[in-house]
Structure 1
Amino acid sequence: MQSGQFLQSDEWEKFQQLLGRKTFRINGNLIIKMPLFKISYLYCPKGPDEITEKFLEEAKKIAKKEYAVFLRFEPDKKPSAGFIKAHDVQPACTQILDLTSTEDDLLAGMKQKTRYNIRLAEKNNVKVERCEKNNLKFEEFYRLLKETGERQGIKLFSKVRYKKLLAFNDLFIAYYNSEPIAGAIINFYQDTATYLHGGSSAEHKKVMAPSLLHWEIIKYAKNNEMEYYDWWGADEKKWPGITRFKKGFGGNEICAPGTFDFPFNQLIYKTYKYIKARGEG
C-alpha cells in the first residue's frame, strides 16, 4: 500500500483552498501553489506515481503563469537522474498496521508493554470518545496539542489551521474522570485511517490513556472497513519516543524515496537554496 494518498483527495484540495492556496490538477494529480518569499513553487504531495515529460510540460505551463520557481514532489518510486533531493516535507517512512487481522491477532502482534498499557487504561476507567466537531471539543484537543508541543519542543501550525483541518477529519479524545487527557485527529480515506496529529497531558500519565486511545481508534477503523492504520511517520533518530510508542502496536515499516525538486529557473532556484542554507546555518 501507499502511504499518504489522502493528500491527493478532493477533501485535501478543499482544505488547501481554505488556507488560501491555489490548486491545480495534472492528470488527476493535485498541485498546490505554495508561497516562497515574493515568488512561489508548485507542490505535488505524495505524487505523482510517475514523472513523465507530459506531466512536466503541464507543470511548466502552470509555473509560467504563477511565477513558480520549481516543482516539489513525492513519488512512490525513486525518479531518474535530473531531479534534486530535497528535505522531506511529509514523512518518508511510516509504520503501517494491517487491520484485516482479527482483534485478538492485532493484540497478539503488539509488544507486551503496549498490551499491558491498554489493559491498565481500561482498568483505570479511561473512556475514549469520537467527538462532535464543536468549539468545546476542539479547545480540549488544542490544549492537549499545545501542551505536548511545549513539552517536546515541537513547532505547531497555527490554531486556525488545526480548526480548519478538523472540518475534513475526525477527532477522538480520551477522558479520565471526565477530564480530557489525550486526543488525536484521524483521517479516513479509501481503505486507510491515518493518525495526523495528537497530544496528551503530563497529568495522569500513569493511567496510559494514549495507548487505549489508539486501540479504540484502531477498532473503530476496523469496524468501519478500513484495512490499514497509518501512523504517519516513524523515525527512530528524529522522534525516538514517539516512534517507539507507534511500533509497540506492531505492523510494518514502509518507506518512500522522499521529496524531490525540479527547478524551472535554475538561477533563482540556486539563489533560494543558498539563502535557505545560510538561514539554517
Structure 2
Amino acid sequence: MYHFEISEKIDTKKWINNLLKNDYSTFYQNPEYLKKDSTRFPIFIYVYDENKSVKGQLALTVLIQQSTYSTTKLKKYMNFISKIGNRASWVSGPIIHSNNESEKNKILDVFFQAMEKVIEKYNLIILDGYSAPQNPNIDQAYLKKFQSNGFKIEEFVTFVFDMNKTVEELFRNVQKYMRVNVNRAKKRGINVIEIKSKNQLNDYYNLEKKWISTKGITTEEYEYNLEKDWEKIDTGNEKIFLAYQNEEVISGLKINYFNKIASPVRVLSTYSNLTSLGGPALTWHAIEWSKKSGMKIYDLTGGEAPPKNKNKIFAYEEKWGSLLKYKRKWGGNEQSYFHFIKVRKSFKYKIIRLLSKPDQIYRNHKHSKIKLHIKN
C-alpha cells in the first residue's frame, strides 16, 4: 500500500540521496535549486510504500506572484492579479523509483491523489509540469493516465548530447555553419571565462541589467539573486560563463548541473553587436566543459513540437521556428518530453488571462523595438 506526504520543509540530504538513485533526476528537482523567495516557495511530495521506502518524489514551486520580472508601471497591477489565485509548477518529474510496470502505475496514481491535495491546500488555479526528457518510461499508457486525471498534454522536444562521445565526435556532429562560427569567434579574439569570483559575477549581473532593459522589465532583487547564484556556484550546482571581446562582456551563459546532467538555464547578450559570435563560443564551451567534467548528458533544451494541425503551422513557426532551427544545428539527439496542464478553476484562469494582457502587450511593444538575431 502506498501513501504520500506533502511538506514545505524536508531533509535536503535525504531528498538528494534518493534523487541520485534515479538516472533521470535533474537539478530542477534539487532543493538547492528550488529556494524560497518573495515570488514563490517550494513544496515536496514523497510517495512511500508499506515499508516506508521512498518510491516517488516530486518537487513543485508555488507561484504567489504572476511575474518574476515586471514592468515598473504595471508591478502593482500584476500583484493585484496574483491575489486571485496561485499556480504551481514542476520540471522533470515525477520521479518514480521502480522498474516494475504495475508498481509504476500505482505510484503514479498516488501522485495524482497528492496533486489534488496540493490544488486544494494552496488555492491553485492551474497546476502544470514537464516530464524529464531522459525518462525512458513514458509511453502512451503513461500519457493516458495524465489525460484521465484532467491534464491537457503538449509535446515538446529537446536536444541531448551523449557525453560518451569524444569532443571530436561531438564537434563533427555540429553543422558546418556553427563550426565555422565557433572557430571564427576564436580568430576574432572572443575569450570565454568561467566565473570564479564575485567581481566576475557582478559583470554577469551588469550584463543581465542590459539584457532585461531590452525587454522593458525590471527587478529589485539583484543583490539577493547575486548571493543566491554565488551560493550555487560555491556548492557545485551551477556554472556561469562569460564571453569577452575587447575586454567587454558581450554574452553570458548560465548552466545548472546535477546527477551528471547539465543544461543551460539562461543565455544573455548585450545586443550591442548584431553579428556577435559570443553565443556560439559559449554554447560550444559549455558542451566541452560538460565532457571534460564527467557529465553523462548535456541537454541543450528546445521548445514545443510541431503541431499536427496544418492550420497552426504558421503561428508555430513564428514562435518556435527560428529557435529550434538554431538548436538543431548543434547536432544533439532530438528527444520528446511533455507539458502537463491542469486548469482547476477555469473561470478565474480566464480572468487572469484577460487581466494579464496589458502587461503582455507592454512587454511585446518594448520587445518589438529591438531586432533580435539568434546568434547565441
TM-score after normalising by structure 1: 0.80
Offset of residue 117 of structure 1: 0.9
Question: How far off its partner does 1:112 sit?
Answer: 0.8
Helix, strand or coil for the counterpart of 1:21? strand
Q: Match of 2:30?
A: 9
> Does residue 303 of structure 2 align to residue 274 of structure 1?
no
Name which of structure 1's ranges 248-257 and 199-208 shifts more when overlaid on structure 2: 199-208
Aligned to 1:258: 339
Match of 1:57 among 113, 126, 145: 113
Contact kept, 8 Å, 2:257 with 2:263, in 1: the verdict is yes
1:261 CA drift (Å): 1.2
The CA distance in 2 between the partners of 1:176 and 1:191, in whole Å, is: 31
Equivalent residue for 2:58?
A: 29
Cα displacement (A) at 1:103: 1.4
Two-structure CA RMSD over aligned residues (Å): 3.3
Q: Structure 1 residues 166 and 207, CA, compared in 2 at 3 Å: closer, same or farther?
A: same
Count how many residue pairs are aligned between Structure 1 and Structure 2: 270
Q: Which residue of 1 aligns with 2:178?
A: 114
| SS of 2:349 mapped into structure 1 | helix
Deviation at 1:225, TM superposition (A): 0.6
* Structure 2 letter corresponding to 1:33: V
Say which of 279, 285, 289 aligns to 1:220.
289
State the 1:137 CA deviation. Answer: 2.4
For residues 171 and 231 of structure 1, do their structure 2 counterparts lie closer, same or farther at Cα, with a shift above 3 Å needed?
same
CA contact (8 A) 1:120 1:207 kept: no
Match of 1:178 in 2: 247
CA drift of 1:206 comes to 4.2
TM-score (norm 2): 0.61
User: What is the match of residue 302 of structure 2?
Assistant: 233
Percent sequence identity is: 20
Indicate the residue corresponding to 1:139 in structure 2. 202
Q: State the one-letter code of the partner of 1:201.
A: T
Q: 1:245: Cα distance to partner?
A: 3.2
Answer yes or no: is the 8 Å Cα contact 2:243–2:252 preserved in 1: yes
Q: Secondary structure at the match of 2:33?
A: helix
Q: What are structure 2's unaligned runs of at least 5 residues?
A: 1-21, 48-56, 65-81, 96-104, 133-137, 233-237, 305-316, 358-376
Return 5+ residue gaps in structure 1 as ranges.
Answer: 264-268
The residue type paired with residue 171 of structure 2 is L
Deviation string 1:86-145 (CA, Å, 9 cap, x unpaired) is 7x7xx93222222221111111111111111111111122211111251x3233223433
Distance in 2 between residues matched to 1:217 and 1:65, nearest whole Å: 41
- Following the alignment from structure 1 to structure 2, what is the Cα–Cα distance between the partners of residues 242 and 154? 22
- 8 Å contact from structure 1 (residues 17, 23) kept in 2: no
Aligned with 2:294: secondary structure? coil
Query: CA–CA distance in 2 between the matches of 1:2 and 1:262?
Result: 30
Query: Structure 1 pair 26/6, CA: closer, same or farther in 2 (3 Å)?
Result: same
Structure 1 residue identity aligned to 2:108:
T
Larger radius of gyration: 2
